[in-house]
Amino acid sequence: MKAAPFAYVRPGSLEETVAELSRDGAKVLAGGQSLVPVLAMRLGRPSQLVDINAVPELDQLTSRDGALRVGATVRQRRLQNDDLSARVPLLRLALPWIGHREIRSRGTVCGSIAHADPSAELPAVASCLEATMVLTSARGRREVAAGDFFSGALSTAAEPDELLTEVSFPAAGPGEGFGFGEFARRHGDFALAGVAVRVTAGDGDRPTARATCFGVSDVPVSADVSERLGAALDRTGAAPARADLHRALGDLMEEVALDVVDTGGDSHASPAYRRRLVAALLAREIARAYADATRSREGSTS
Ligand SMILES: Cc1cc2nc3c(=O)[nH]c(=O)nc-3n(C[C@H](O)[C@H](O)[C@H](O)COP(=O)(O)OP(=O)(O)OC[C@H]3O[C@@H](n4cnc5c(N)ncnc54)[C@H](O)[C@@H]3O)c2cc1C
């Protein structure tokens, strides 16, 4: 099948881009890795594609004010290979799981977040870290928190005339640790289920832990799992071997999986199988993130 006819424009400035996007039926073309298949299968019929790849200010990758700011045309592979991504370790853990190198060489970070596939890695990372989305249109600029951005499968709070110009990810602080894991039938396939985890180990305080699960609902689902991590540490003691904490978290994560998995299942996996995957991944990745967080806290105080 071929794509339905469409007009194509390649503006050279942000001002021109948002003017073109305000036309009825206009759609952003970034890396094309999701949009082109959608066009080829005629699942979408935009009247005009606005190619954003010639707008210099959208190609910015910067670190300031405690955040990593990723512009609209920054490729996934560029971020993966850039030293700046070390400031957001969860991104470093997640990026290699996206498709294959060729996909990451063209696909953009913002494009993946704007596309909002429920099984995609980057929306989950953005949700776990409570990233900020910057949207720009001819009407102005606004910021939307990740928690308010994903509204359903392949749908977000962005209006059709709005461009996701930047995503701002908070840089990791001392005492923070991260975990990321997913299960797919073949490496590079979309995940059947996956988890992103952030643990903060404060001085003397109980650790806090936030987990975001993907591939299990229409949107990434986040849960505060601090109490359950605390309950596991009551069983193991405050400085457990990772394997012991992993074991202690096992049954506690089964309860979390019951809450977060709300898909009716599909030809790839039943809800019950996804719950088992989520529970196993959460236990493993929270144990990993806790070990990482305590190392980071000790490194910052020595
Ligand atoms: C074989 C294959 C395997 C893949 N595997 C994975 C995987 O495992 N995990 C994963 O997460 N993804 C996977 N992808 C998708 C890939 O990550 C895409 O790159 C990504 O989903 C979209 O980014 P893009 O820059 O290519 O956007 P495009 O394809 O250009 O656009 C996608 C959609 O987002 C909109 N859009 C893009 N950028 C913006 C913006 N800045 N502002 C507003 N709207 C915008 C477009 O209008 C379009 O609707 C795979 C793709 C392929 C072809």
Q: What SS3 state is found at 32?
A: coil
CA of 243 to the centre of ligand 1 (A): 36
Please say which residue of 170, 192, 209 terminates a domain.
170
Residue type, 229: L
Q: Give me the average pLDDT of each 10-residue run along the chain (302 residues).
A: 94 98 98 96 96 98 97 98 97 97 97 97 98 98 98 97 98 97 91 97 88 96 97 94 97 95 84 96 98 88 62
Does residue 1 fall inside a structural domain?
no
Q: What SS3 state is found at 140?
A: strand
So what's the pLDDT on residue 300? 74
Residue identifier of the C-alpha nearest atom 39 of ligand 1: 111
Residue type, 270: S
Does residue 213 fall inside a structural domain?
yes
So what's the pLDDT on residue 302? 58
So what's the pLDDT on residue 297? 86
Residues 6+ apart with CB under 8 A from 271: 261, 263, 264, 265
Residue identifier of the C-alpha nearest atom 27 of ligand 1: 111
So what's the pLDDT on residue 258? 94
Tally the domains of the chain: 3
Ligand 1 site-directed mutation target among 70, 75, 97, 115, most atoms within 8 Å of CB: 115
CA of 295 to the centre of ligand 1 (A): 35
Same domain, 182 and 295: yes
CA of 225 to the centre of ligand 1 (A): 30
Same domain, 193 and 234: yes
CA of 36 to the centre of ligand 1 (A): 9
Same domain, 82 and 165: yes
Residue 58 CA: nearest ligand 1 atom is 41
Residue type, 104: R
Same domain, 297 and 183: yes
Phi, psi of 213 (to 5 degrees): -110, 145
Residue identifier of the C-alpha nearest atom 36 of ligand 1: 111
Residue identifier of the C-alpha nearest atom 28 of ligand 1: 32
Please say which residue of 115, 144, 170 terminates a domain.
170
CA of 33 to the centre of ligand 1 (A): 5
Considering only CA atoms, which of 272, 221, 273, 228 is closest in space to residue 250?
228
Same domain, 15 and 131: no
Residue identifier of the C-alpha nearest atom 50 of ligand 1: 99
User: Which residues have C-beta atoms less than 6 Å from ligand 1?
Assistant: 27-35, 72, 98-99, 103, 107-108, 110-112, 114-115, 117, 120-122, 158, 163-164, 190
Please say which residue of 142, 170, 198 terminates a domain.
170
**Domain coverage including residue 90:** 58-170
Does residue 128 fall inside a structural domain?
yes
CA of 103 to the centre of ligand 1 (A): 9
So what's the pLDDT on residue 134? 98
Same domain, 182 and 294: yes
**How many Cα atoms within 13 Å fall on the side-chain side of residue 301?**
11
Residues 6+ apart with CB under 8 A from 299: 174
CA of 163 to the centre of ligand 1 (A): 14
CA of 117 to the centre of ligand 1 (A): 9
Residue identifier of the C-alpha nearest atom 48 of ligand 1: 35
